[in-house]
């Protein structure tokens, strides 16, 4: 099969929770999935890629500092050249931190902004660069409660997530008429994963009662966004457990 005919999905930030579920979900749809994390997590990333390949699907792992403009440009060019045309790009870097405002250093604030906002801009821009000329493609950004409101001790995180949401809104208006679907997904609540299991003592009971967001259920919604017809595109989707307070 020619490279041009192979549809690919790039997941920027494929961890053990939602990122991994997104990679598995899009791979199951027949896309060749490219997954990234920072180079120090390559062992876990390769394990995820192996799991996807063992299920009969296509997956490749790439170490990436998503804040680095040169690296993200090179990765998108490599995928387009060697693997296939990017059909979907999912930006899924979290960067959730807790700091009182008086203990939030300039370094902390800048780093969180780089991870959750600047990296989102770079991934979104590079996706647009290759998708818009083809007149098709989907760019999805993972947001959070902090995308809508700032809580105490989350000044850095909320500021970065507000920025990412504004980016998604601007891109949706610019790229929609060019055939590229851009959507921002607000994840309001705790997501099942290693962090949740380490910090919530009654997690099994809460999972049994559907009180915690399950990655596979979230991923189904991302796939649905990708499959939407352009006569009725969703540009922002709000997901939360049935017991979560607004």
Residue 244 lies in a domain: no
Taking phi over 0 as left and psi of -120 to 50 as alpha, with beta for the rest, 45 belongs to alpha
Is residue 186 helix, strand or coil?
Answer: strand
Query: Is residue 195, in this structure, part of any structural domain at all?
Result: no
Q: How far apart are CA 117 and CA 206, in angstroms?
A: 31
Has residue 200 been placed in a domain?
no
Digit-coded pLDDT (tens) for 169-191 = 999 999 999 999 999 999 988 88
Contacts of 68 (CB under 8 A, 6+ apart): none
- Measured CA to CA, the distance from residue 227 to residue 17 in angstroms comes to 22
Span 123-165, pLDDT tens digits: 999 999 999 999 999 999 999 999 999 989 989 999 999 999 9
N- to C-terminal Cα separation, the chain? 48
- Find, among 71, 118, 58, the residue nearest to 91 by Cα: 118
Say if 204 falls within a structural domain.
no
Domain count, the chain: 1
**In-domain check, residue 15:** yes
Percent of the chain predicted with pLDDT > 90: 78
35 pairs with which residues across the strands? 11, 61
List residues bridging with 89 in a β-sheet: 10, 139
Predicted confidence band of residue 4 (pLDDT cuts 50, 70, 90): low
In a domain, 36, yes or no: yes
In a domain, 62, yes or no: yes
**What pLDDT is stored for residue 2 in this prediction?**
45
pTM (2 d.p.): 0.94
Query: pLDDT grade, residue 1 (50/70/90)?
Result: very low
| H-helix segments, the chain | 18-28, 42-54, 69-78, 106-113, 119-131, 155-175, 194-199, 203-208, 215-227
Range of the domain at 34: 3-187+216-239
Measured in degrees and rounded to the nearest 5, phi and psi for residue 65 equal: -95, 100
Q: For all residues of the chain together, what is the average pLDDT? A: 93
**CATH code of 37's domain:** 3.40.50.720
In a domain, 205, yes or no: no
């Amino acid at each position: 099969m020619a490279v041009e005919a192979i549809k690919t999905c790039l997941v920027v930030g494929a961890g053990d929770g939602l990122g991994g579920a997104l990679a598995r979900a899009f791979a199951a749809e027949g896309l060749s999935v490219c997954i990234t994390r920072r180079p120090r997590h390559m062992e876990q990333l390769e394990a995820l890629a192996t799991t996807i390949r063992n299920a009969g699907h296509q997956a490749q792992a790439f170490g990436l500092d998503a804040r680095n403009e040169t690296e993200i440009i090179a990765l998108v060019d490599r995928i387009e050249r060697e693997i296939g045309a990017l059909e979907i790009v999912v930006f899924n870097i979290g960067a959730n931190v807790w700091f009182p405002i008086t203990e939030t250093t300039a370094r902390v604030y800048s780093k969180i902004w780089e991870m959750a906002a600047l990296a989102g801009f770079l991934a979104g821009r590079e996706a647009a660069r290759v998708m818009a000329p083809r007149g098709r493609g989907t760019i999805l950004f993972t947001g959070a409660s902090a995308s809508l409101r700032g809580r105490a001790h989350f000044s850095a995180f909320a500021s970065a997530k507000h920025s990412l949401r504004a980016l998604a809104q601007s891109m949706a208006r610019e790229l929609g008429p060019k055939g590229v679907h851009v959507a921002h997904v607000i994840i309001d609540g705790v997501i099942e994963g290693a962090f949740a299991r380490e910090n919530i003592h009654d997690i099994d009971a809460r999972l049994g009662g559907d009180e915690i967001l399950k990655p596979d259920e979230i991923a189904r919604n991302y796939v649905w966004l990708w499959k939407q017809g352009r006569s009725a595109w969703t540009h922002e989707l709000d997901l939360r457990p049935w017991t979560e307070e607004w």
